[in-house]
Structure 1
Amino acid sequence: MSIELRHLRCFLAIAEESSVTRAAARLHLTQPAVSRTLAALEKHLGIRLAERSTHHLALTAEGRAFRDRAASAVAAFDDALDSERLRRRPLRLGHPWSAFGPYTTPLLRRWERERPETPLELLRIDDRTAGLARGEVDAALLRGPVETPGLVMEFLFTEARIAAVPADGPLAARTSLTLADLVTEPLIVNRVSGTTSPALWPPGAGPATTVTVTNTDDWLTTIAAARGIGVTGTSTAAVHPHPGVAYRPLPDAPPLQVFLVRREGAGHPAIPHLAALARELASGA
């Protein structure tokens, strides 16, 4: 069997939709036809591209790697026929929280002014890689180290850490706090996309208990309810103000590094322009 462009387009639709049924509807094909195409592609390649059940489909590690190569091949073919097509495709920029901090609005305004032919979509996705590892976005703004294989990280800037405490609690009366000031309270940990855990403290010196949540909204709500305290980057105070949460400087905590992250290999052609603008804005401040 020979692989044709239609096989790649079909696989990319499956990868983007995470569903054979939705991919079939998008391609105006029957579900069995899409399933046969995926099976034929896997047989030809000799690898498993997706794990699927009745209600779930997820790309394997080999499937994610092949998705990037397939996307590059299809993009190159389409670009050869229509050089404007890729420049019109939106550039999807993910973030789990706080986006580009104080540079978010300047980034969006400069992009709109300088590259109106390529819409920039800023997407908040509650995931450690903001959907990048799953192919939901083209690039992501991430804080702290990311150990997911297949990602390329470019350092942009550092931001100080701050404490997030109940607005009506005794810690909010202080103008500044230390890590030692926080250890008597439970630590609220966002286990999905957060960057702070008890490991921020020396061994044995951190909070005795933790409360886990799965997104930024629940993290804020739990702190406001006086169920514990949190530690985050300074951008959170500006991007996520909350009437029940007070943010205080935490000068003895190590700062957070902020990165622009993309997948290895060819990606959206506008990513280099995004990286250049992000570097300019961060270094200009």
Structure 2
Amino acid sequence: MDVQLRHLRAFVAVVDAGTFTDAAILLGCSQAAVSRSVAALESTLGTRLLERSNNSVKLTQSGARLVTRARRVLDEVARLERIAQEAYSELRLGYAFGALGKHTRHLMKAWAAAYPWLPLVFVHSNTATAGLAEGVADVSVLRRPLVDDRFEVALVGCEARYAAMDTDHPLARRRSVRLDQLARYTVALDPRTGTATPELWPPDARPAIRTVQGVDEWLTVIACGQAVGVTAESTANQNPRPGVAYRHVTDAPHVQVLLAWWKDDPPPYLAALLAMIRSLYGSVPPGDGLPREPVDRAVAATGRRR
């Protein structure tokens, strides 16, 4: 059996993009090359992984079992490449939607003053780990739970939720809104990296959902009046957009801001990074349910310059 990485990359790209055409754009190759790679993978494994139609693809039962494992393989390969090719010449902080919002600039300045030899760089990645698993980030800012025993996670702060709507929307005239008011409209959700889910609303009062991929598409459909959105406060600070108004959602639960890193390879000065971000957010509420032990281990592991 000769499973090649390019075959796995093509298969995962088709699943993520939804079509062979969009997968080709994502990979920067031709649609025919993507089709050949997926066909080669299916031939090698002796099973069909995707059901094809004119406008979309659907995972078969075998494909659904394989795709998670394929992601794991690609993640580990990316990590091996990063370890082999890079020393810590910079500390890359991944994020998917809002970075650290209004705290981003303050963290950058404080870090540059304290550790000028190790630049802190924010990198955008619209994946479940905000670039951590993919090897493009050393630490990631997350606002969704991460259930993966390869990573450690620590709480660094909490943020209020904000609604986003086009500036001509009736709710834009209000200073704040409630969830039941938003439920009257179609709500744009990013199921991979967004902080809002249908479970914010009661089962019998959930809004119509429009699925989007990434913050740019989310903002575009909102600015065009095709949907409203619910997000963390950081998005409102980090992503002002002409035609989009943000309003505080008074009855929505706060969003936890998390930092994640590889359990067996914490980056340098992790403890200092955690302390700086926590100081910017203020005290972390007690009883958050997240372990404190990983942070204590990080102090010992990262107390020296590499």
Normalised TM-score (structure 1): 0.69
Rounded Cα–Cα distance in structure 1 between residues aligned with 2:253 and 2:209: 20
Please say if 1:110 is aligned against 2:121.
no
Alignment RMSD: 2.8
Rounded Cα–Cα distance in structure 1 between residues aligned with 2:74 and 2:242: 44
Aligned to 2:233: 234
Structure 1 residue 277 displacement after superposition: 1.9
Residues 270 and 202 (structure 1), Cα distance of their counterparts in 2 relative to 1, 3 Å cut? same
Aligned to 1:61: 72
Q: In structure 2, the residue corresponding to 1:204 is in which secondary structure? A: helix
Say whether the 8 Å CA contact 1:189–1:197 is kept in structure 2.
yes
Residues 270 and 67 (structure 1), Cα distance of their counterparts in 2 relative to 1, 3 Å cut? farther
Rounded Cα–Cα distance in structure 1 between residues aligned with 2:74 and 2:225: 44
Please say if 1:248 is aligned against 2:259.
no
Residues 195 and 148 (structure 1), Cα distance of their counterparts in 2 relative to 1, 3 Å cut? farther
Q: Which residue identity does 1:222 align to in structure 2?
A: V
Spell out the pairing of 1:96-245 with structure 2 (5 A cutoff): 96-207=96-207, 209-245=208-244
Q: In structure 2, the residue corresponding to 1:165 is in which secondary structure? A: strand
Aligned to 2:303: none
Structure 1 residue 130 displacement after superposition: 0.9
Q: In structure 1, the residue corresponding to 2:180 is in which secondary structure? A: helix
Residues 229 and 70 (structure 1), Cα distance of their counterparts in 2 relative to 1, 3 Å cut? closer
Q: Which residue identity does 1:256 align to in structure 2?
A: V
Say whether the 8 Å CA contact 2:79–2:134 is kept in structure 1.
no
Q: Which residue identity does 1:155 align to in structure 2?
A: L
Describe the superposition over 1:46-86 as per-residue Cα deviations: whole angstroms up to 9, x where unpaired: xxxxxxxxxxxx976367568768977x79xxxxxxxxx95
Residues 188 and 265 (structure 1), Cα distance of their counterparts in 2 relative to 1, 3 Å cut? same
Q: In structure 1, the residue corresponding to 2:153 is in which secondary structure? A: strand
Q: In structure 2, the residue corresponding to 1:164 is in which secondary structure? A: strand
Matched residues, number: 219
Structure 1 residue 274 displacement after superposition: 1.6
Aligned to 1:11: none
Q: Which residue identity does 1:142 align to in structure 2?
A: L
Aligned to 1:271: 270
Normalised TM-score (structure 2): 0.65
Residues 68 and 271 (structure 1), Cα distance of their counterparts in 2 relative to 1, 3 Å cut? farther
Rounded Cα–Cα distance in structure 2 between residues aligned with 1:59 and 1:137: 20
Say whether the 8 Å CA contact 2:91–2:118 is kept in structure 1.
yes
Rounded Cα–Cα distance in structure 2 between residues aligned with 1:125 and 1:149: 21
Rounded Cα–Cα distance in structure 2 between residues aligned with 1:135 and 1:109: 25
Q: Percent identity?
A: 35
Rounded Cα–Cα distance in structure 1 between residues aligned with 2:74 and 2:161: 37
Structure 1 residue 250 displacement after superposition: 0.8
Q: In structure 1, the residue corresponding to 2:99 is in which secondary structure? A: coil
Aligned to 1:92: 92
Rounded Cα–Cα distance in structure 1 between residues aligned with 2:71 and 2:127: 18
Residues 180 and 59 (structure 1), Cα distance of their counterparts in 2 relative to 1, 3 Å cut? closer
Rounded Cα–Cα distance in structure 2 between residues aligned with 1:63 and 1:210: 31
Describe the superposition over 1:84-140 as per-residue Cα deviations: whole angstroms up to 9, x where unpaired: x95x51111100011112211111001111101111111111112111122221001
Structure 1 residue 281 displacement after superposition: 2.4
Q: Which residue identity does 1:202 align to in structure 2?
A: P
Describe the superposition over 1:14-69 as per-residue Cα deviations: whole angstroms up to 9, x where unpaired: 9xxx89xxxxxxxxxxxxxxxxxxxxxxxxxxxxxxxxxxxxxx976367568768
Say whether the 8 Å CA contact 1:126–1:193 is kept in structure 2.
yes
Rounded Cα–Cα distance in structure 1 between residues aligned with 2:217 and 2:117: 37
Rounded Cα–Cα distance in structure 2 between residues aligned with 1:224 and 1:64: 34
Rounded Cα–Cα distance in structure 2 between residues aligned with 1:68 and 1:237: 32
Gaps of 5+ in 2: 11-68, 285-306
Of the two, which has the highest radius of gyration?
Answer: 1
